[in-house]
A and B are shown apart, each in its own frame.
Chain A
Amino acid sequence: MLRRTALAAASLLAAGALLLTACTGSATPSPSATSEPDPDASAVIRLVLEPSNLDIRQTAGAALDQILVDNVYQGLVARTPDQEIVPSLASDWTISDDGLTYTFTLQEGVTFHDGQELTPEDVVWSLETRKDTAEWSDSARLANVESITADGQEITLTLTEPDSSLLWNLTGRAGLILKQDDTVDYQTAANGTGPFVLTDWVQGDSITFARNEDYWGEKAQVAEVVFDYIPTDQAAVNAALAGEVDVLTGFDANLKDQVEANGDFTVELGKSTDKGTLAFNQASGPLADKRVRQAIRQAIDHDAIVEALASGQTQYGPIPELDPGYEDLSDVAPFDPEAAKTLLADAGVEDLTLTLTIPNFYSTTIPQILVSNLADVGITLEVDSVDFSTWLENVYTKKDYDLSFVLHTEARDFENWANPDYYFTYDNPEVQDLYAQSLAATDPDEAAELLKQAARIVSEDAGADWLYNGASVVAVGTGISGIPTTNVNERLNLAELTKSDG
C-alpha cells in the first residue's frame, strides 16, 4: 500500500513537473552579476531537514552541524568544503614528532555572542567536559586525550597514544568551544563565537541568523540569512520560480531543468561524502555467505543508479573520493548479472526472498532499480518503507533486517567498519587491526595508506554495497556568490556568502 501511494504521488509530481517545464520555456539569458554586493541583504536558503532542537552538545544529526558549526559555533580548527584542515579559533598549531602533544595558539580578542570574552579556560573546560560527558555527541573521539592545559594563549593537548584522526575530530562537534557553564537554553538558543548570531527560530518553518557585528575575524557580507525549511522538492522549486528563495540545496538533480528554466538559477553539482549504503545483515542467514553478498553487488547496475539520480558518481568501497584512503575499487564488483547467477548457484541459493528496509524520505528510484536488478538474477526483493524512528529501532538498534538503505553523509566515518557492534554487522579482525594502525600512525600519508588497505578488504568481503557517492545539488540565484557547493549536506559555511541585486 505504501509503495502504491508513493508511486501515485510520484506520478502526480511528474505530471505537475511536465506542466511546469512546458509553460516556463521562455528562458531569458541570465544577467551576469556585475552589481556590488549589498551588505544589508537578507539571503534565503532552502534546506530540507529541520533540526529537532538546537542542542549541539548532545542532539545528533547533520541538520545541526550543517548550519551551526562554522557559522555560530567554532572550534580551534575548522575544515574547508574540500576537507582541508584550517585554523579557526587557534591561529596556528604544532604537533610533536611522537604525535603525543598538540599545541594550539588561541586567537586574541574573540568574544561570544553574549559579549563575553573567550578565555583559554573556556577552551580547556569545553574539551574536558566533552571528553568526560558520555551523553555529549562525539565525546569518545577525545578518548586518547589525557590532559588539556592552558598557559597564556597556548592550549596543550597531551595524548596517551598517537591519534591521526584527532585534528580532524577537532574540526567537528568534539572540538566545539562553548562558554564555560553557559546559562543559554541550548535547546532553543545558541551562544557561540562565529560570524553569525542565531536570532530567531520559528519551529516547523525557519531559522534566522544575523551578522555578528562584533565578530573577531572578517565580518559576514550579508546582514541576515534565513534558512527556510521546505520539505518537498516541488514546493521548493515553486518557491524558487516565484522568487522566494535565493539558494536551494538538497533537491533531486532531475529537477535541474525546471529550476533553471527562467534563467534566475544555476544548478551546481559539487562532490560530497554522502554514501548511499546498502547494508547487508551478515550475522546469519543467506547473507552470511560472502558469495551471496558478492552476487547482489554484481547484480546491481551502479551506472544506471547514478544516471537515474542525475547526479553523483559510482563508489565501490567504503571510502568516498573526498576522504583519505580513497581508491577506485570498481574492479572488485563489476556489474555482471551472469557472474551473480553463478555465485548464487555456487552458494546453493534458490528462490531467495529478501527485504529491503528503507526510510520513507528517500525517493522510490533506488528501490525500484534494486527490485528490478535483483529480479534479473532470481532474487525477490520486498521493499519495507518505514519512517526514520522505526528504522532506528529495527535496523540500527535491533539489527533486525536483511538489506537496508541509508545515505551516510558523515565524512571520514570508516570507523564503523572496524566496529563489529555497528548495525553493518561487519566483523573482520584484520580490518579492525589496520584501522587501529592507521589511527596510531603519525604520518598522514601512512595513515591514509593503511585505510586504503582496510577499505579494499571491506569491499572484497562484500561487507556492504555502495550504490553511489552522492553529489551536493545546489541551485544558486543570480545575485548570489560565495555559497559552498561541496558537501553542503554536512556543512554550509556562509562566511563568504554575498548577495547583490543583479
Chain B
Amino acid sequence: MIRYTLTRLALLLLGLLVASVLIFLTLRVLPGDVAQLIAGVNSTPEQVEALRQRLGLDQPLTAQYLEWISGVFRGDLGNSLLTGSSVADELAQKIRVTVPLGVMALTIAILFSVPLGVLSAMRRSRSTGTVMSVGAQTLAAVPVVWAGMMLVVVFAVWLGWLPAQGFPRTGWADPWAAFRSLLLPALTIGIVEGAMLMRFVRSATLQAVGQDYVRTAAAKGLTRDTALIRHGLPVVGLSVITVLGLQIAGIIVGAVVIEQLFALPGIGRMLVQDVSRRDLPKVQGELLVLTGFVLIVGFVVDLVHRLLDPRQREAS
C-alpha cells in the first residue's frame, strides 16, 4: 500500500509539471496581449511596446516559464499584470465563493441522486421506476444555464425567497446572507449533476442485482431488496466514489458557467475575465491550482478505492 501510494504520488507530481508546461504554452498561442488592452484603441505602437517591456512580456518564453515555475516552487504564484495584486491572494478570495458553492452542489447532488437512483433500480419494473428514470434522463440533458434561469424566475422573481444574483459584498461576515446567495446556483448545478449521478447509481444498482452474491444471499432467505441493500450497495458505493471524482471536475466546469449567470465573484468568473484580458500570469496560477485540485481528487479517490475494496488490495 505504501509503495502504491508513493508511486501514485510521484505520478501526481509529474502530472502537475506536465500540466504547468501545457498551460504555459497553450496560453501563449492565444492572440492578443495585455499591454494592448491596457493601452487601448487610441494608443500608439510605441506606447504599447513600452508597456510590454515594463510588464516583462518581451522576455523569451523559456525565461518567462522558468521564472513562473520557480516562483511556484517557492509558493509564489506571481502577480496580476493588470492590478499588480498577488494571484494567491486573489485565489484565496475567490475560493471562499467557489468551494462552498461546489460543496453545496455536491451535497445536493448526492442527497437526491443516491436514494432515488437505488429506488428507481429496485422499482425498475414498475411505472414509478420508469418515471424516475425518464425524469433523470431529462434533467441530465437540461443545459445548466436554462435550469438556473428557471430557478431564478421561480424562487427569486416570483416568490422573492432568494436573491437572483450576486454575493454579499461583506463575504461570509453575514453567513446566512452568503448561504442564501449560493443556494440557487448550488441547486442549479446540483440538480443537473445529480441527475447524471442518479442514472449512474441506477445502472450500478441494476448490475448489482444481477450479481451472483446478491442472488446467493436471496436464495439463503433474504428478500431480494434486503439482499441488495446488504450485499449489493457497498459495491455500488465503491463505483459511485470513482464517479464522484469525475463529478467534481464537472462541478468546476459548471461553476464557470453558473458564476457568470449569477454574477458570483468566484474562481470561474475570475478565470473567464482574466483569459479575455490576457492577464496570463493570473490565468496560469488559476489553471494550475484548478488542475492540481482535480489531480489531487483523483489521487484521493484512487487511495480510498483501494482501501475500501479488498479485491484490489489482494491483487497487488
Q: Which residues of A contact B (CB under 8 A)?
A: 9, 12, 15-16, 19-20, 23-24, 50, 52-53, 58-61, 134-135, 137-138, 140, 185, 187-188, 200, 202-206, 208, 226, 228-232, 234-236, 238-239, 241-244, 387-394, 396-397, 406, 410, 413, 423
Chain B CB within 10 Å, residue with most, of A20, A188, A241, A392:
A392
Pairs A-B, 4 closest by C-beta atoms:
A60-B40, A389-B32, A205-B265, A242-B164
A390 CB contacts on chain B under 8 angstroms: 30-32
Contact A52 B94 (CB under 8 A): no
Cα(A410)–Cα(B273), bound, Å: 23
Q: What size tier do the contact residues of chain B reach?
A: 35 or more
A232 CB contacts on chain B under 8 angstroms: 260-261, 263
B302 proximal to A (CB < 8 A):
no
A15 CB contacts on chain B under 8 angstroms: 146
Cα(A384)–Cα(B156), bound, Å: 37
Chain B CB within 10 Å, residue with most, of A12, A23, A205, A234:
A205
Contact B273 A204 (CB under 8 A): yes
A392 CB contacts on chain B under 8 angstroms: 32, 36-37, 41
**Contact pattern, B 123-152, Cβ under 8 Å of A = 1, otherwise 0:** 000000000000000000001011001101
B84 proximal to A (CB < 8 A):
yes
A396 CB contacts on chain B under 8 angstroms: 36, 41
Known: A204-B273, A392-B41. A12 touches B261 (CB 8 A): no
Cα(A244)–Cα(B45), bound, Å: 43
Contact A16 B46 (CB under 8 A): no
Contact B163 A393 (CB under 8 A): no
Known: A135-B50, A244-B164. A60 touches B41 (CB 8 A): yes
Contact B263 A200 (CB under 8 A): no
Contact A234 B276 (CB under 8 A): no
Cα(A138)–Cα(B40), bound, Å: 11
B153 CB contacts on chain A under 8 angstroms: 16, 19-20, 23, 238
21 residue pairs from A and B, CB less than 8 Å apart:
A12-B143, A12-B145, A24-B157, A134-B50, A135-B50, A138-B42, A187-B82, A188-B85, A203-B90, A232-B261, A235-B263, A238-B149, A238-B164, A238-B165, A241-B156, A241-B157, A242-B152, A244-B163, A244-B164, A396-B36, A423-B41
A231 CB contacts on chain B under 8 angstroms: 260, 263
B166 CB contacts on chain A under 8 angstroms: 205-206, 228, 230, 239, 244
Contact B38 A16 (CB under 8 A): no
Contact B46 A134 (CB under 8 A): yes
Contact A60 B90 (CB under 8 A): no
Contact A230 B278 (CB under 8 A): no
User: What is the minimal beta-carbon distance from A8 to any residue of chain B, in angstroms?
Assistant: 8
Chain A CB within 10 Å, residue with most, of B32, B40, B41, B83:
B41
Cα(A185)–Cα(B90), bound, Å: 17
**Contact pattern, B 156-173, Cβ under 8 Å of A = 1, otherwise 0:** 111010011111010000
Cα(A422)–Cα(B167), bound, Å: 42
Contact A205 B167 (CB under 8 A): yes
B47 proximal to A (CB < 8 A):
yes
Contact A387 B276 (CB under 8 A): yes
Cα(A230)–Cα(B260), bound, Å: 8
B277 proximal to A (CB < 8 A):
yes
Other A-B pairs beyond A52-B279, A229-B263, 18, CB < 8 Å: A15-B146, A53-B82, A60-B40, A187-B83, A205-B169, A205-B265, A226-B169, A228-B166, A230-B166, A238-B152, A238-B164, A243-B160, A387-B276, A389-B31, A389-B36, A393-B31, A393-B33, A397-B36
Contact B42 A137 (CB under 8 A): yes
Selected from A208, A389, A406, the residue in CB contact (under 8 A) with B37 is: A389
B270 proximal to A (CB < 8 A):
yes
Known: A205-B166, A389-B33. A235 touches B262 (CB 8 A): yes
B51 CB contacts on chain A under 8 angstroms: 58, 135
Cα(A312)–Cα(B276), bound, Å: 28
B5 proximal to A (CB < 8 A):
no
Cα(A423)–Cα(B90), bound, Å: 36
Known: A137-B42, A204-B269, A389-B36. A16 touches B262 (CB 8 A): no
